[in-house]
Amino acid sequence: MAKNQIQSFESGLVLNKQQKNVLIVYAHQEPKSFNGALLREAVETLEADGHSVEVSDLYSMHFEPRCQRTDVVGSVQNEGFFKYQMETKSAWENGTLSADIKVEIEKLKRADLVIFQFPLYWFSVPAILKGWFDRVYTMGFAYGMGNMYSTGPMKGKRGMLSFTTGGPGAAYYPDGLNGDMNVLLWPLQNGVLKFVGFDVLAPQIHYAPAHVSDDDRKQWLTDWAKRLHNIFEEPVLNFVNSSNFSNYKLTEEYLEGESSKQFGPTVGQNIGKPFSSTGMLKP
Amino acid sequence: MAKNQIQSFESGLVLNKQQKNVLIVYAHQEPKSFNGALLREAVETLEADGHSVEVSDLYSMHFEPRCQRTDVVGSVQNEGFFKYQMETKSAWENGTLSADIKVEIEKLKRADLVIFQFPLYWFSVPAILKGWFDRVYTMGFAYGMGNMYSTGPMKGKRGMLSFTTGGPGAAYYPDGLNGDMNVLLWPLQNGVLKFVGFDVLAPQIHYAPAHVSDDDRKQWLTDWAKRLHNIFEEPVLNFVNSSNFSNYKLTEEYLEGESSKQFGPTVGQNIGKPFSSTGMLKP
């Protein structure tokens, strides 16, 4: 019997408060892959805990990654000069976005937690998942003037990356062949998750699962499940609050407060200093 | 009359030496966009200088961004457990990659310079271009064990990013709302260009072209053309030579040589230090 169900005998109110909606956006071709195993582990664990889980299995859905004219149904504002961002913003307002985008937007609206499960391709997400961000994050819905970062529309939702790598963990240190994982994660965790308002959870990274034993992979799945049991109570990663910027720049006042500190505030807002070696990895 | 043609009257040998093959991989839906203007400026300038230019206009080509089973023609090694990287490596070796990938590989082989022209989407390339990297950079062809970074198969070719942003330049400083452009560019310039062996040229960045005057945009096109005239003589960005790594880590010897320096060697190999504020922007 699931945790929430037990609690529901004790207090009906607790049940309502703890039962959450989770969306997993999954980008792997092969169910037998370790990504597939991580997906199933997450679905089973979260459902057993009483949560409601939806999965967008992008390859199975044949999800379209390209931003095109067909993303707007019917006429556009300017057929002679197609501006994707502006036309899809209008389409969002008018309810004329293509059906596949609308479905994903509704899933995103419902979700309290979104997990992106993928293998790292070229130091980023696979194209099919990049296309999910490019198309589902419609202007107007996912961001707008004054609605980004701390005040982004996904405010209050939790978002996280869960991914596998081909190369070993050693390659992703600040003295590693592929470079500091904190740097690699900044564009995704700040630019894709935080930008639209998510509270960003530490990434779940599995380095080179193809090169470890079956026992190790089993242990990794057990650890993943353990983490998921408490995923709504975890502290989140640290970003600079948007209120500390004026005209796209950190305020003088904020910078003064940082002046005596050893590290820059974040990887991206490093203000010319070294940054924490775990800033994008741990709360 | 183009520069090379003039030179060819003086010396036939000079012509052969200077005439280069350029590939422009272009990812914008609308020819009337500033990206479209930058593309045309590049094609005209480079051809007038006597170079041979090919364009992969990804949206017009309806380029497929998804890594799928159909990227291998005929049978695969393991139909019951599809491993994209290994199967496409075999397909590369056996000549059974799908036709659209083969065509792009041939273009890449011919090129002395590759320019990627795109609007920045979510702090990275649009999905259609991400898919070009995911699919055309086949293991075996574009990289392999011991063939990456300084010894990558694109060694001797020049590669560069040319892109536009929505936000203003101020937002991309180390105290800016979107964070340090050096950090944003590391995964692309190191992880996508340098990884396969390219000599990486400084990026051509046009910030918020939608918010400047027609005169400014004309000037930007003129400046772009001016740069392109000398693109094969430009110094390239600095990366750590692969020979300084052992077991995925910088060697003790290399680190000793760096110990007294103010900055880390690169943005990614920052070894816990601040890095140059122009490391990913200027040679």
A76–chain B nearest CA distance, Å: 14
Residues of A in contact with B267 (CB under 8 A): 179-180, 183
Question: Taking CB atoms and an 8 Å limit, are A183 and B270 in contact across chains?
Answer: yes
Residue B8 has pLDDT above 80, yes or no: no
Question: Taking CB atoms and an 8 Å limit, are A67 and B30 in contact across chains?
Answer: no
User: pLDDT per residue over B215-241, tens digit each?
Assistant: 999 999 999 999 999 999 999 999 999
Residues of A in contact with B67 (CB under 8 A): 29, 121, 126-128
For residue B11, name the pLDDT band (cuts at 50, 70, 90): very low
What pLDDT was estimated at residue B133?
98
Cα–Cα distance, A116 to A101 (Å, whole number): 17
What pLDDT was estimated at residue B2?
45
For residue B68, name the pLDDT band (cuts at 50, 70, 90): very high
Question: Taking CB atoms and an 8 Å limit, are A272 and B274 in contact across chains?
Answer: yes
Question: Taking CB atoms and an 8 Å limit, are A267 and B29 in contact across chains?
Answer: no
Token duo for residue B198? 């390219």
For residue B3, name the pLDDT band (cuts at 50, 70, 90): very low
User: pLDDT per residue over A17-36, tens digit each?
Assistant: 489 999 999 999 999 999 99
Residue B34 has pLDDT above 50, yes or no: yes
Cβ of residue B282 closer than 8 Å to a chain A Cβ: no
CB B150 within 8 A of CB B242: yes
The 8-class DSSP code of residue B147 comes to B
CA dihedral A183, A187, A192, A194 (to 10 degrees): 60
Q: Among B66, B249, B267, whose Cβ lies nearest the Cβ of A170?
A: B249
Farthest-apart Cα atoms in chain B, separation: 63
* Secondary structure class of B228 (helix, strand, coil): helix
ipTM for this model = 0.94
Q: Give me the residue label for tokens 């914008």.
A: B28
What pLDDT was estimated at residue A10?
46
Burial class of residue B225 in the structure, from the number of CB atoms within 10 Å of its CB (0-12 exposed, 13-18 middle, 19+ buried): middle
Q: Which of B55, B50, B140 minimizes the C-alpha distance to B94? A: B140
Ramachandran assignment for B209, one of left (phi > 0), alpha (psi -120 to 50 degrees), beta (any other) = alpha
Residues of B in contact with A173 (CB under 8 A): 249
Residue A71 has pLDDT above 60, yes or no: yes
Question: Taking CB atoms and an 8 Å limit, are B124 and A187 in contact across chains?
Answer: yes
For residue A16, name the pLDDT band (cuts at 50, 70, 90): very low
User: pLDDT per residue over A101-130, tens digit each?
Assistant: 999 999 999 999 999 999 999 999 999 999
User: pLDDT per residue over B128-182, tens digit each?
Assistant: 999 999 999 999 999 998 899 999 999 999 999 999 999 999 999 999 999 999 9
What pLDDT was estimated at residue A259?
96
Residues of B in contact with A264 (CB under 8 A): 174, 274
Name the residue of chain B whose CA is nearest to A246's CA. B177
Stretch A130-151: mean pLDDT = 96
Cα–Cα distance, A242 to A5 (Å, whole number): 39
Residue A241 has pLDDT above 50, yes or no: yes
Listing DSSP states for chain A in one string gives: --HHHHHHHH-HHHHHHH--EEEEEE--S-TTSHHHHHHHHHHHHHHHTT-EEEEEETTTTT------GGGB-S--S-TTS--HHHHHHHHHHHT-B-HHHHHHHHHHHH-SEEEEEEE-BTTB--HHHHHHHHHHS-BTTTBBTTBSGGG-TTTT-EEEEEEE-SS-GGGGSTTBTT--HHHHHHHHIIIIIGGGTPEEPPPEEE--GGGS-HHHHHHHHHHHHHHHHTTTTS-------GGGEETTEE-HHHHHHHTT-SS-SSSSS-TTS---TTTTT--
Q: Give me the residue label for tokens 């023609």.
A: B73
Cα–Cα distance, B203 to B120 (Å, whole number): 12
Q: Among B133, B245, B247, whose Cβ lies nearest the Cβ of A122?
A: B133
Q: Among A137, A175, A247, whose Cβ lies nearest the Cβ of B170?
A: A247
pTM reported for the whole predicted model? 0.95
What pLDDT was estimated at residue A146?
86
Stretch A70-78: mean pLDDT = 97
What pLDDT was estimated at residue A180?
98
Q: Which of B182, B267, B256 minimizes the C-alpha distance to A174? A: B267
Stretch A40-55: mean pLDDT = 98
Question: Taking CB atoms and an 8 Å limit, are B122 and A131 in contact across chains?
Answer: no
What pLDDT was estimated at residue A275?
95
Name the residue of chain B whose CA is nearest to A240's CA. B177
* pLDDT averaged over every residue in chain B: 94
User: pLDDT per residue over B92-129, tens digit each?
Assistant: 999 999 999 999 999 999 999 999 999 999 999 999 99
What pLDDT was estimated at residue A145?
84
Cα–Cα distance, A23 to A158 (Å, whole number): 10
What pLDDT was estimated at residue B18?
84
Q: Among A62, A66, A123, whose Cβ lies nearest the Cβ of B191?
A: A123
For residue B13, name the pLDDT band (cuts at 50, 70, 90): very low
For residue A49, name the pLDDT band (cuts at 50, 70, 90): very high
Residues of A in contact with B135 (CB under 8 A): 127
* CB within 8 Å of chain A, chain B residues 107-166: 121-128, 130-131, 133-135, 137, 149, 166
